[in-house]
Every structure is written in C-alpha cells, then in structure tokens.
Chain A
Amino acid sequence: QSALTQPASVSGSPGQSITISCTGSSSDIGTYNLVSWYQQHPAKAPKLIIYDVTKRPSGVSDRFSGSKSGTTASLTISGLQAEDEADYYCCSDARQTLSNVIFGGGTKLTVL
C-alpha cells in the first residue's frame, strides 16, 4: 500500500499560519477518522500532536489543529514559532483485507 502524500516542504514566517496536507484514499483517510500527526525534531523521536483527526493530546499547544475533508487530512499551525521548525508526519489506519498502518512521507517545515 502506498504512503500517504504530503508536500516535501512548507515554510512560513513567525506569526503566520501554515497548512500541511495529507492525501490518502478511500481505503484509509476517506473511511476512518483515525488520522494522527507527529512532529519530529532532528535526532529526536516523533511526538504525537494530533489524533483522531482533530484531537490534541494534553500539553500540546492549541496552535496546532487538524481537519479532514474526503480523502485529505490537514494540519494547521497558527502563530508560527521558531521551535515549530521540524518534520511533520501524518498517519492513518488503513484496513483492507489485513490490518495496516500507513504514514505520509513527511513534510519539512521551515520557519523563515
């Protein structure tokens, strides 16, 4: 099964908002509300920032928000800060005939 499709890179200035898209199919994002997003700083483990499409774990800034339309999920970061510069990965449950999990290829966010 192919990875979810994310832009390779996005950028924005401090204070601005950016959106990262994650496109899948009817076998994953289109069917299940089990999209999650992860933030990964260099040489660090990924950190969960959004789960079940729109929910934020305790302790995650409300500047991070998630949404979904059809087979595309989106992560929006508002009020960009320097520490938001990182790689971001989307992920979805993807059950066909067998249980599966698929990740997006990752998006490098640069804060200008």
Chain B
Amino acid sequence: QLQLQESGPGLVKPSETLSLTCTVSGGSLSSNNHYWAWIRQPPGKGLEWIGTIYYRGSTYYSPSLKSRVTISVDASKKQVTLKLRSVSAADTAVYYCAREESFYDNSGYFHHGAFDMWGQGTMVTVSS
C-alpha cells in the first residue's frame, strides 16, 4: 500500500531556508498519471497548496509562494523535496505531501485534480 512520509527539521530560524523531504514507499513515484504536491496548514487554519511536481521534473507553484519555493524530485530515491526560502513566522505550519491526480487537457492546459493520498504531515515552527 502506498505511503508518504514527510521528514525534516521541526524548527527553522527566521530568514533561513525550510527544507523537507517526502519519501514514497509501497508504490511507484514514476506513475504517468500521478503528480506530487506539498500542502501546508498553519495552526488552527485552513489548507494552502504550495506546489506540485511530476516525476520527470515539471513543476507548478502557487503564485503567492512562487518566488520563495523550489520543489524537486529524485525518482531513484522515490523522494520529493520542498525548499522554502526566507521563512518567517507566517510559514509556521504542518506541511503535508500528497499524491495528486492531474492531467493536460486537449488544449494543452494543465489541470490540478484531487489529492488522493496524504502523508501524516510534519510540523515546522519558524522561530529564533
């Protein structure tokens, strides 16, 4: 059964770079129809999409975070990595990785589908 597991530091200092890894087990990361996303949830608040990557490296980022985010993939290790630069207290959140069902339509436009599997999430606090 496919499982996703987030890992990384639980505490990051302001202005530094947050770096998290999502490891996929029990299945393939290199599936034609599946993409891999990062989503976060500040304490007591709602969900926010950060970005999505395909195993071949295509990336799609939230317009509001695009200037600070890089998502990369290592298919051989079945890992997806999130880097968020210049963090502040506003970036304190539980960070989830999720599998995404997405596709290109007949016009060549990319569409985000549902997030059908999620990791358990990892809490990251930004504080000095």
Contacts and interface: CB of A to CB of B under 8 A. Distances in A.
Contact of A45 (B37, B60, B120): B120
A36 B114 contact: yes
Interface in B75-128: 96, 101, 109-121
Contacts of B62: 100-101
A5 B96 CA distance: 22
A89 B113 CA distance: 15
A95 interface: yes
A52 B113 contact: yes
Contacts, number: 68
Given A45-B96, A45-B119, A57-B116, A95 B111 contact: yes
A47 interface: yes
Interface stretch (B14-22, B23-31, B46-54): B46-54
Given A45-B119, A46-B96, A104-B46, A95 B109 contact: yes
A47 B112 CA distance: 17
Contact of A103 (B48, B60, B109, B118): B48
A3 B46 contact: yes
Contact of B60 (A36, A51, A99): A99
A103 B114 contact: no
29 contacts: A3-B46, A32-B111, A34-B112, A36-B113, A36-B115, A38-B47, A45-B119, A46-B118, A47-B118, A48-B114, A51-B113, A89-B46, A91-B114, A91-B115, A93-B112, A93-B113, A95-B109, A99-B52, A99-B60, A99-B110, A99-B112, A100-B63, A101-B37, A101-B62, A101-B112, A103-B46, A103-B47, A103-B48, A106-B46
Interface of B: 37, 46-49, 52, 60, 62-63, 96, 101, 109-121
